[in-house]
Chains A and B, each alone.
Chain A
Amino acid sequence: MNPTMPELPMDATTADILLLVLGACGIMLGLTLLGEFVRMRSDPRTPNPVLETYTTRVNSWWAIIILVGLALISGRVGVIILFMFASFSALREFLTLTAKAQADHLSLALAFFAVLPLQYFFVWMNWPELFTLLIPVYAFLLLPIVSAMRGNTKRYLIRVAETQWALMISVYCLSHVPALMMVPIEGFTGRSVLLVAFLVMVVQLGDLLEYFFGRRIGKTKVAPGLSPKTWEGIACGVGCSILIGGLLSWITPFGLIGAMAMAGIASLVGMFGNLVFAAIKRDRGVKDWSHLIPGQGGFVDQLDSVIFAAPIFYHLTVWGWSG
């Protein structure tokens, strides 16, 4: 970290992160104990698939929380490396399912080995004019040229469009989470890593509660035939996110009302993002993006709502509080 930075705010930030991580671990401990309690009461000879799925998921969540916690504590570099790895995994899941031909080999290799590292390099250097343009302008124009030069035009537009979608979703959108650490905010110097924790927590907890309430009281389907999501579930989930945002407002520069509004918007956008990903999966005839995370499908399954929320959350933060 920057050695000229005053000591005190850094320490306070680390303490706040530790508090958040310990809080999350407390919730996880409760969930783990709940699972073990149910296991003790059930007959060990009869297989219980629901309990097995639950345990696998809880274990994956432990791994995720510990990884994210370590990254947050280690600061800027840790968070950037973590999200670069997440982008890489998301991109490989996405491009495994898209249309491609051997003519695209070089442009796909460039997507993995040039565009992705460059994007995160620009985020790390905090050059917003470059990391907001690299994929929507330069990759968008140059990669189709590379593909076209091989001369195979069979389903050309589908191939280049799907590759661009993969990059926008897996790299561009996701890189806006670590980019939050770079937004200059008056009186918030050295604490911006907490914005990453705020965004991830309100969106993921909102999703979880949306699922829970949707199961309990959900009636009206948002997109019948595509997703079990209901308006009642979404309303409760977003409502809970707003409350959680309010409770966490002390780690943000937004103020109480601002934090509640930002949490609500991020959570709402994330839930509908989830719907978009469900549509893509249905189109490709798959249930999950991959099997890289035990019990949870792939990285895109885990991150879909954060992916959608991140660029909008980033833009609103810059627009409303940067200076």
Chain B
Amino acid sequence: MKFLRSLAASFTGHTIRLFVRFLTAVRADWKGIEPIPKQRVYFANHTSNGDMPMIWAVLPPTLRRSVRPVAAADYWLKNPIRAFVGPEVFNCVLVDRRPEVKDKPMDKIVAALDEGASLIIFPEGGRNMTEDPLLPFKAGLYNMGLARPEIDLVPAWIANLNTIMPKGEVIPLPLICTVTFGAPIHVQDGESKDAFLARASKSLADLRPDAPDTASEVIA
């Protein structure tokens, strides 16, 4: 039974990856770092539910096998299908955001890091529905960087996904999505939480390709 489940999980994973690749022709742009198997925390902008599968699908197989997305337990345990896909296909680290729960999210995250997993996190804490490129970051990224300072924190900008599947639309558009990976950052000695989070946010926002219309308006 366990074997069958893991077979089903692997099959579902391949299907999701092929579907994502066909739909968005998603491409990884390794700008500041090479795709080598090294323990990392990838932190990305979050505008759509497709963000996590997108990063997961562009990672090369060896990296994908060792990466665990950090995701909300209340979302992924809502029904049996999600409870299968989240923990078993994507191998998510499920964290409970409710304050009354005993086990703290950071404990589970640090435990996953100590097992050697790389992580995918969305430091804005939720989907960004505003016009601004990024919401202010939550403290989680700083705490991870502080707890395990040797691990690379890698910014990853997901472009176009909000146009492909905006909130409230039913049909996704098959436009091209790009995930740009930037140079890794670390928490510096004595760096304050706010200073680090501002620096992390800037390193992510800097990867944003120019909006298509700005180039023409500059010339005009």
Contact = CB atoms under 8 A, between A and B. Distances in A.
Main secondary structure of the interface of A (DSSP, over half): helix
B175 interface: yes
Given A92-B25, A291-B27, A97 B212 contact: yes
A99 B212 contact: yes
Contacts of A158: 213
Given A92-B25, A96-B160, A99-B212, A283 B171 contact: no
A98 B212 contact: yes
Main secondary structure of the interface of B (DSSP, over half): loop
Interface string A92-126: 11011111101001101100110000000000000
Contacts of B212: 97-99, 284
Contacts of A88: 174
B169 A105 contact: yes
Interface residues of A, number: 25
Contact of A283 (B166, B173, B216): B216
Interface residues of B, number: 17
Contact of B213 (A99, A105, A109, A290): A99
A284 B176 contact: no
B210 A108 contact: no
A160 to B, nearest CB: 14
Contacts of B25: 89, 92, 290, 292
B176 A109 contact: no
B175 A95 contact: yes
B215 interface: yes
Contacts of B166: 102, 105
A187 interface: no
A96 B175 contact: yes
B219 interface: yes
22 contacts: A88-B174, A89-B25, A92-B174, A93-B176, A95-B175, A96-B160, A96-B175, A96-B176, A99-B212, A102-B166, A105-B173, A108-B173, A109-B171, A109-B173, A112-B173, A113-B171, A155-B213, A283-B219, A284-B212, A284-B216, A290-B27, A291-B27
A95 B174 CA distance: 9
Interface in B170-190: 171, 173-176
Contacts of B163: 100, 102
